[in-house]
Amino acid sequence: MGPERGARTRAAAARPATKTDSVDEASLRARLAGLPAATAPARDPGPLVGAAVLVPILLSCPPQILLTRRSELLAQHAGQVSFPGGRIEVGDASPAAAALREAKEELALDPTRVMLLGRLPEHATGTGFLITPVVGLLPANVALTPSPEEVAAIFTLSFATLLDPAAPQRRQSLRNGRLREYWVWPHPEHEIWGATAAILLRLAQALRAAAN
């Protein structure tokens, strides 16, 4: 599959548990108002490598979660589903700055088109990274041009799937003689698992908790 020129809605095959037609910018900002500030400086990741990703919510009706499939040419995590993001560099003022820089490099996303809402809990990966997920709102018509060296495809996850408590599934696999558990989200075309799936779960939990 070649790079797509824009984010197209891919309705996930899952049972919607929450009405999403009324979810708009104001309600999203209210639900996520309790998140820590997105622009706070990064903390020392210790033995891990500090990284940041942008968790983009497209303000379509209903909203959609923007995701990418990484290029097969990349040295790490090739072909996997991810959020725009990467390592936090010395010149980055915060994880949010790193996430926006990476999103610009990967998708030509104008940082001024992103309304930052806050950050989700950090996620440590088995590959040695400590990821800070930064949540931001994007206009539905935002211009995106994926870099073919980094991004193979842009797609979305429906809000109905995100807010369905039954959608994410816990799975197991044996790797190097060790049993490993991880989350998987349903999608008709892409396999959403690992760190990306875990971050989506955190976002869903924050949105559902605020709605109750």
Amino acid 5: pLDDT: 36
Identify the CATH number of the domain in which residue 56 sits. 3.90.79.10
Q: Is residue 49 part of a domain?
A: yes
CA distances from 202 to 50, 57, 62, 81, 90 (A): 19, 14, 20, 17, 27
User: Structural domain tally of the chain?
Assistant: 1
Q: Which domain holds residue 145?
A: 25-211
Say if strands 129-139 and 123-124 run parallel, antiparallel, or are unpaired. Answer: antiparallel
Residue 105 has pLDDT above 60, yes or no: yes
* Average pLDDT score over residue span 99-116: 97
Amino acid making up residue 53: V
- pLDDT reading at 74 higher than 70: no
Q: Report if residue 15 sits inside a domain.
A: no
pLDDT score at 91: 93
Strand partners, 113: none
Residue 106 pLDDT > 70:
yes
Mean pLDDT of the chain: 86
Residue 181: pLDDT band by 50, 70, 90 thresholds? confident
CA pair distance 156, 63, nearest whole angstrom: 10
* pTM of the predicted structure, to 2 decimals: 0.86
Indicate the helix (H) or strand (E) that contains 58. Answer: strand 49-59
Residue 11 lies in a domain: no
Does the residue 87 lie in any domain? yes
In a domain, 19, yes or no: no
Does residue 195 lie within any of the structural domains? yes
